[in-house]
Amino acid sequence: MPIPSSASVSRQPKVYHCGTLTYTSRHLFILFFWLLWGDFCYMLMETVTPSIMPLKFRSLGASNMEIGLILGTIPAVVYSILNPIISFKSDRYRSPLGRRIPFILYTLPFLVCCLICLGFGDRIGYWLHAHLPGVNRLSPNTLAIWTIGGLMVMFTFFNTFVTSIFWYLFNDVVPDHLLARFMSWFRMISMLSTTLYNFCIFRFANTHTTEILVGAAVLYFVGFGLMCRNIREGEYPPPPPYVDGETGPFSAMKTYAKECLTIRHYWYQWIASFLYALATGIGTFGLFFNLAIGLDLEKIGYINGCNNLLTAVLVLGTGWLADRYHPFRVVIGGLCFDLFLALPITMIWIFWHPSGQVAFWVALAISLGLSAPYQAMWAMSDPPLLMRLFPRERYGQFCSTNAIWRSMGNVIGGGLAGGFLDLVGHWVGKEQSYFYIPVWLLLFKIPTLFCFLKLFKSWKHLGGDDAYKPPMIASKETSGSAAETVPGRC
């Protein structure tokens, strides 16, 4: 058999592997294109709802507490119940389409319908008030608020399938050594899509709410549908057994709880996620903060667009830093930057109330000089850090546990943050109460940093940069395997 010449060998295309999947450079480019295209459509959809709904509720006369409950607490409850079920089943699901794509594809039409209905939510509420017997004791606006709230619950139900599974898909189809670089590009596309929205669309949020929501729904349906059609998952080994060697829902719950909640190492992550969610539960009122300092929607959109554009560039640098020095160090550095510099400076609005034009330039400087660098560093916390922290074969399951703790923080944080602002508003006035948002953030981000430092110490103890292996509980069938270790068990 002739030995191929060096010239013919050099012409062989480079091959990349991810499980049973094999890519040439051309196929890898196509994979990245469809994943990034899906991300673009997904992020536009995800940006539209939280930016428009607070304005809609405010125009209907909803209180801060009601807004916090409908947009923060109730969706978080739905998410915290569904996410672990979906993630656990997805890790162990096998089908011709894979274990991730079916969960996204089959719920796509229902999610789109809910998003379209949200665009007409207030009109649906008014129609119900005029035609439904027995609701005359409620004002039209109150019934409109309840209607939109119900639609938000339905939207959250179907959106949970996407927000849970989409992130797991990357870990299954992207080659390991390209994950960090891919996530940098992924974050950049996310920022660019929100930049486009803030520059070109957000200014019409009050006047063209229906058109924006319906447009986002159509783009999402076409974009995500094409992504699911053009991406293929590989073959997976048989699902891992339950810890007791049995089957059924009770065994599944026992497995989930034992694997995710009995190892001390992961508890630092769970508590950090909970505390950080308590802090960011006040984010629903960020728009009102910007309005209170004297900005209009056009200026807010411009500042947010510039922020996202700069963050999109910076995230490529923080992705490189995370690859070189580990996401842990980048995330901890970002939290320190936020706690000791960004948030204290943002408290300037409590004591200083300049004209609208001065406020615009100061807010722009704070956004670009402080918020964007922090956001680029914090972007390495999820999923780059989690991909290195959790066991790959049960990645969805552990991510769902993290999401549960984050959702519990949102459940408590959304309502408490609204109550906090209402309480402060009694002392300083409703509009001035939004200036105290950085105080709330500082209160919960300090213990978050402490938990991350404890997690970093535990990670170093388990091998750190050179030898870390995610600790796991052994099932009965694998209890003799050296690969299943449980250091630091509670």
Predicted pLDDT of residue 487? 52
Contact predicate 237/104, CB 8 Å: no
With a cut of 50, say whether residue 483 has pLDDT above it. no
CATH of the domain at 316: 1.20.1250.20
With a cut of 80, say whether residue 347 has pLDDT above it. yes
Element (H, E) at 442: helix 437-461
**Tens of pLDDT along 147-188?**
999 999 999 999 999 988 888 888 888 887 777 678 878 878
Residue 4 within a domain: no
Residue 486 within a domain: no
With a cut of 70, say whether residue 480 has pLDDT above it. no
Peptide bond into 384 cis (omega under 30): no
**Tens of pLDDT along 437-461?**
999 999 999 999 999 999 999 999 9
Contact predicate 405/270, CB 8 Å: yes
Residue 319 within a domain: yes
Predicted pLDDT of residue 460? 94
Q: What percentage of the chain exceeds 90 in pLDDT? A: 36
Residue 475 within a domain: no
Residue 101 within a domain: yes
* Distance separating alpha carbons of residues 470 and 259, to the nearest angstrom: 11
Work out the angle between the directed axes of helices 74-91 and 140-173 (0-180°, nearest 10).
Answer: 30
C-alpha separations of 49 from 189, 288, 299 in Å: 19, 16, 19
Report the relative pairing of strands 15-18 and 21-24 from DSSP bridges: antiparallel
Q: Which residues of 118-233 form beta strands (DSSP E)?
A: none
Residue 289 within a domain: yes
Angle (nearest 5°) at CA 347 between 344 and 350: 155
Which residues, 6 or more positions from 200, have their beta carbon under 8 angstroms from its beta carbon? none
What pLDDT band is residue 264 in, cutting at 50, 70 and 90? Answer: very high
Domain that holds residue 44: 18-239+264-467
Residue 375 within a domain: yes
What pLDDT band is residue 486 in, cutting at 50, 70 and 90? Answer: low
With a cut of 60, say whether residue 112 has pLDDT above it. yes
* Distance separating alpha carbons of residues 93 and 434, to the nearest angstrom: 46
Q: Report the domain count for the chain.
A: 1
- Of the two residues 12 and 81, the one the predictor is more confident about is 81
Contact predicate 430/288, CB 8 Å: no
With a cut of 90, say whether residue 340 has pLDDT above it. yes
Predicted pLDDT of residue 133? 80
* Distance separating alpha carbons of residues 464 and 382, to the nearest angstrom: 18
Write the DSSP symbol of residue 284. Answer: G
Residue 39 within a domain: yes
Contact predicate 365/133, CB 8 Å: no
Beta partners for residue 15, in sequence order: 24
